[in-house]
């Protein structure tokens, strides 16, 4: 858990971010880093959900994080300390990132580690970043970890960009088709119906069906919206039962083309991050614990949890994923 500790330190009121199991532990860590005689603790609050209370709103994009990691690597590689590097990089165009780094610099100046100082901003620095930095600090491989993270953000940004490009054209086609369909049944078909009726022409069955849909088009639209709403409610209800929902997900993976695309997308992300975490020195069981929270699929989450339990009992990762429905057996060898 993360705590915000407001203290009177060096003639100023400052707020530090501390990761601890409870309030007592947070206070002890603060005293240990700064010194009990040098500070007066004013308040301590737990920040469970939104730990990022900076002055600026907005979003920090992967491209910005990639640039930050590469700049940090360059500065540290040249012999500059972590504190000096953070202070140098705190003057940025992105106001939110700038505010976060300035607050982090205060924490580092007070004796906290880089990972602890940045850990209070989960909507800027995700768990993968924080845990990789923490492991790198312990193993002394911070420079390499920053390069790995930069590559990870670059890969993530490129993938999202390609996905947007791939989805844009089909989306435009679908929207255009909907507009044409609505216009056809709202304006065109009624005119033809009137002409055919007045001319006494015998109307084919398919045309009669189209005329019926046109005359009741608003009810079909409302019915379709109601159907989507019911599907949404059913989705919410089924998601509460993880066992049933996991089975539905596995059925979805068998859908031709679409199921394969979702499978490969998620496995690519999972194994890329797993390699990153292991290279940073994080144990496999802890890495799996981080990975299971990166996927939105309940079935994959369960498989990673089972693999983590197997590894903790002394087994191998491949044995923990032997019964996996996501990963083909030949990929585990």
pLDDT in tens, 308-323: 999 988 888 888 888 8
Whether the pLDDT of residue 102 is over 80: the answer is: yes
Q: Which two tokens stand for residue 5?
A: 């500790």
- The pLDDT of residue 51 is 45
CA proximity to 111, closest of 11, 24, 38: 38
When mean pLDDT is compared across 51-55, 260-264, 280-284, 309-313, the lowest value belongs to 51-55
Instruction: Provide the β-strand partners of residue 12.
Output: 9
**Mean pLDDT over residues 267-275, rounded?**
85
- The pLDDT of residue 101 is 92
- The pLDDT of residue 255 is 85
- The pLDDT of residue 50 is 44
Q: Distance between CA 87 and CA 108 in Å, rounded? A: 10
- Alpha helix locations (H) across the chain? 23-34, 62-77, 82-89, 95-109, 114-118, 127-139, 142-183, 189-199, 205-215, 217-240, 242-253, 258-279, 284-291, 298-312, 317-320
Q: Please state the pTM of the whole predicted model.
A: 0.67
Assess contact for 14 and 7: CB atoms under 8 A.
Answer: yes
pLDDT in tens, 13-25: 777 777 777 888 8
Going from the N-terminus, what domains does the chain have, and what CATH number goes with each? Answer: 2-46 (3.10.20), 59-215 (1.20.81.30), 258-332 (no CATH)
CA proximity to 118, closest of 93, 144, 141, 136: 136
pLDDT in tens, 52-84: 444 455 678 889 999 999 999 999 999 999 999
Assess contact for 121 and 100: CB atoms under 8 A.
Answer: yes
> CB count, 10 Å around CB of 137?
18
| Average pLDDT score over the chain | 82
**Mean pLDDT over residues 155-171, rounded?**
85
Residue of 199 and 57 predicted with greater confidence? 199
Residue appearing with tokens 């768990």: 127
pLDDT in tens, 226-236: 999 998 998 88
- The pLDDT of residue 36 is 67
Whether the pLDDT of residue 332 is over 60: the answer is: no
Residue appearing with tokens 């078909």: 189
Q: Distance between CA 327 and CA 319 in Å, rounded? A: 12
Assess contact for 102 and 56: CB atoms under 8 A.
Answer: no
Whether the pLDDT of residue 203 is over 80: the answer is: no
Phi and psi torsions of 43, nearest 5° = -160, 160
For the chain, the residue count is 333
When mean pLDDT is compared across 18-27, 68-77, 161-170, 263-272, the lowest value belongs to 18-27
| Residue % of the chain over a pLDDT of 70 | 91
Residue of 311 and 123 predicted with greater confidence? 311
- The pLDDT of residue 240 is 83
Q: Which two tokens stand for residue 224?
A: 């379709």
């Amino acid at each position: 858990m993360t705590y915000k500790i407001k203290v009177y330190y060096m003639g100023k009121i400052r707020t530090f971010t501390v990761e601890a199991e409870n309030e007592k532990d947070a206070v002890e860590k603060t005293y240990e880093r700064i010194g009990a005689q040098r500070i007066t603790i004013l308040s301590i609050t737990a920040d469970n959900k939104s730990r990022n209370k900076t002055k600026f709103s907005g979003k920090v994009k992967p491209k910005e994080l990639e640039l930050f990691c590469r700049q940090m690597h360059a500065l540290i590689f040249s012999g500059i300390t972590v504190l000096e590097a953070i202070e140098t990089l705190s003057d940025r165009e992105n106001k939110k990132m700038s505010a976060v780094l300035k607050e982090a610099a205060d924490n580092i100046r007070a004796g906290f580690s880089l990972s602890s100082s940045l850990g209070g901003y989960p909507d800027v620095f995700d768990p993968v970043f924080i845990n990789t930095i923490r492991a790198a600090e312990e193993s002394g491989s911070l420079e390499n970890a920053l390069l790995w993270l930069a590559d990870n953000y670059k890969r993530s940004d490129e993938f999202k960009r390609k996905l947007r490009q791939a989805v844009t054209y089909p989306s435009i086609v679908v929207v255009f088709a909907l507009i044409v369909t609505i216009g056809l049944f709202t304006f065109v078909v009624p005119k033809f119906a009137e002409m055919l009726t007045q001319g006494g022409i015998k109307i084919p069955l398919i045309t009669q069906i189209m005329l019926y849909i046109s005359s009741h088009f608003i009810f079909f639209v409302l019915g379709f919206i109601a159907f989507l709403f019911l599907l949404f409610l059913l989705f919410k209800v089924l998601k509460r039962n993880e066992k049933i929902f996991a089975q539905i997900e596995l059925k979805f993976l068998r859908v031709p083309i679409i199921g394969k695309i979702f499978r490969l997308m998620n496995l690519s992300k999972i194994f890329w991050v797993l390699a990153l975490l292991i290279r940073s020195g994080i144990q496999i069981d802890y890495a799996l614990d981080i990975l299971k929270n990166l996927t939105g699929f309940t079935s994959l989450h369960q498989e990673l949890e089972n693999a983590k339990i197997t590894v903790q009992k002394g087994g191998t990762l491949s044995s923990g994923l032997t019964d996996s429905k996501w990963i083909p057996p030949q990929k585990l060898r």
